[in-house]
Amino acid sequence: MTQSGAVRSVPLSRVEIDDEIRARVIAAVDSGQYILGPECKALEKELAASLDRQHAVLLANATAGLMLTLDALGVGSGDEVLVPAHTAFPTIEAIFQSGARPVFVDIDESYCLDPSWLEPRITARTRAIVPVHLYGHPCDLDAITDVARRHGLFVLEDCAQAQGAGWRERKVGSFGVAGVLSFYPSKNLPTLGDGGAVVTDDEGLARKLRMLRDHGRKEKLTHDVVGWNLRFNEIQAAATRVLLRRLDASNEGRRRVAARYAELLKGLPLGLPHEAKNAHHVYHLYVVRTPERDALQKHLKAAGVGTGIHYPVPNHLQPATLGRAGVRSEALPRTEAACREILSLPCFGSMRDDEVAYVAQAVREFFATKGA
């Protein structure tokens, strides 16, 4: 309990569902069309336009987007993909499922891929770079795309945590051959369940993705390739179309929350998020850092504050990775140090100022007990 009064519940994230979303969902239910119908087609056009892309392909989730795009680009057995170890495991999972091998690189102070690690690890087998715009902060896309051009590599952007983020006035997802989006309920652009999309300017790639998501077919009973069942649905598309219109305002809400945290947490022995000079951070997560992470998390739980650790085990040390044939073993000092200290505080677009103040007060009280 904090000095400010009784314990309150502040969740790590929250999706705001209102009457407009309910009405759109009910209309989709009443339409009788549930898979890849008019709502999905409209959402694909709106997503593509929002990122100045020619095509958007809706999928069941972002993991499918990464997996199918690697497949469609011909990345497979024997190939290598440069990727940060500090990301959600599904990023790595998609590379393994393609048959390729991840080559892990370390992070910079924004927790994103450090471009200086790329070139020394490129071999004749390297086919792609997967920059992950982690926590809502964009990677250094100037440096990454420069390396990719000089070595003839694909850049496949993982934008699952960064819908609406930008680098030098351009949105993430508009730099590489393709960008992968996630609509998981806690994401900047949520949906009512799982969902994702791939955006691209490559018409041939978009065509392949549409086949692969739907059993490898262009016509109902003719299967040109072996595909999957990874389609999106009308009910979720109807809700996501409403939330897409609200994305910019929601992201500005997240930035307001982050600015308020920075003010209220100033002066504590606590690492706060960094925003690079050319970056527009959209704070999917507000990640702080302290060697006393576990004790702070326990204190906040007692105060009714939801937290998370994203992510406690770096992917080069995950049980599913260790010992896999051909995967290089290399120490990643920044990644390994961060994973011992990071903690995500509540952050979402509709978070009220009194909720931010409550969380910050609980954090300050923790350090006050330590004599900080």
Q: Which helix (H) or strand (E) holds 370?
A: none
Confidence of residue 1 (pLDDT cuts 50, 70, 90): very low
Whether residue 7 is predicted with pLDDT greater than 70 in this model: the reply is no
CB contact set of 251 (below 8 Å; sequence gap of 6+): 164, 165, 188, 282, 283, 349
Q: What is the pLDDT of residues 172-187, one digit of tens each?
A: 999 999 999 999 999 9
Residue 4 above 60 pLDDT? no
Does an H or E element contain 59, and which? strand 55-59
Q: What percent of the chain has pLDDT over 90?
A: 94
Six token digits for residue 135: 């926590």
Q: Examine the pLDDT at 2 and tell me if it is beyond 90.
A: no
pLDDT at 372 over 70: no
Q: 329-371 pLDDT, tens per residue?
A: 899 999 999 999 999 999 999 999 999 999 999 999 999 998 7
DSSP letters of 13-56?
------HHHHHHHHHHHHHS--BS-HHHHHHHHHHHHHTT-SEE
| Tens of pLDDT, residues 274-288 | 999 999 999 999 999
Report yes or no: 165 and 183 within 8 Å, Cβ to Cβ. Answer: no
Matching residue, tokens 């002066």: 267
Using the predicted structure, report yes or no on whether residue 165 has a pLDDT greater than 60.
Answer: yes
**Contacts by 333-337 with C-beta closer than 8 Å and gap 24+?**
333/106, 334/106, 334/107, 334/108, 334/114, 335/84, 335/85, 335/86, 335/106, 335/107
267's CB contacts (< 8 A; 6+ apart) are: none
Nearest-CA neighbor of 87 among 307, 312, 329? 312
pLDDT digits (tens, 9 = 90+) for 303-314: 999 999 999 999
Confidence of residue 323 (pLDDT cuts 50, 70, 90): confident
Higher per-residue pLDDT: 192 or 371: 192
CATH numbers and ranges of domains, the chain: 19-245 (3.40.640.10), 247-369 (3.90.1150.10)
Could you please report the per-residue DSSP string of 303-328? TTB--B-S-SS-GGGSTTTTT-TT--
Give per-residue pLDDT as tens, 49-70: 999 999 999 999 999 999 999 9
| Cβ 8 vs Cβ 358: under 8 Å | yes
Contacts 24+ apart (CB under 8 A), 181-187: 181/47, 181/62, 181/65, 182/61, 182/62, 182/65, 183/62, 183/236, 183/240, 184/61, 184/62, 184/160, 185/13, 185/15, 186/12, 186/13, 186/15, 186/284, 186/348, 187/160, 187/161, 187/163, 187/284
pLDDT tens figures, 93-139 = 999 999 999 999 999 999 999 999 999 999 999 999 999 999 999 99
**Angle, alpha carbons 268-270-272 (nearest 5°):** 110
42: which 2 tokens? 């409209």
Rounded Cα distance, 253 and 251, in Å:
5
Percent of the chain surpassing pLDDT 70: 98
Answer whether residue 6 shows pLDDT above 80.
no
Residue 17 to residue 335: CA distance in whole angstroms: 36
Which two structure tokens, joined as six digits, stand for 197? 């999309």
3-class secondary structure, 78: coil
Single-letter amino acid code for the residue at 233: N
**C-alpha R_g of the chain:** 21
Give per-residue pLDDT as tens, 19-43.
999 999 999 999 999 999 999 999 9
Q: At residue 176, what are phi and psi to the nearest 5 degrees?
A: -85, -175
With a cut of 80, say whether residue 158 has pLDDT above it. Answer: yes
Query: For 331, left (φ over 0), alpha (ψ -120 to 50), or beta?
Result: beta
The closest alpha carbon to 62, from 169, 189, 159, belongs to 159
**Bridge partners of 278?**
none
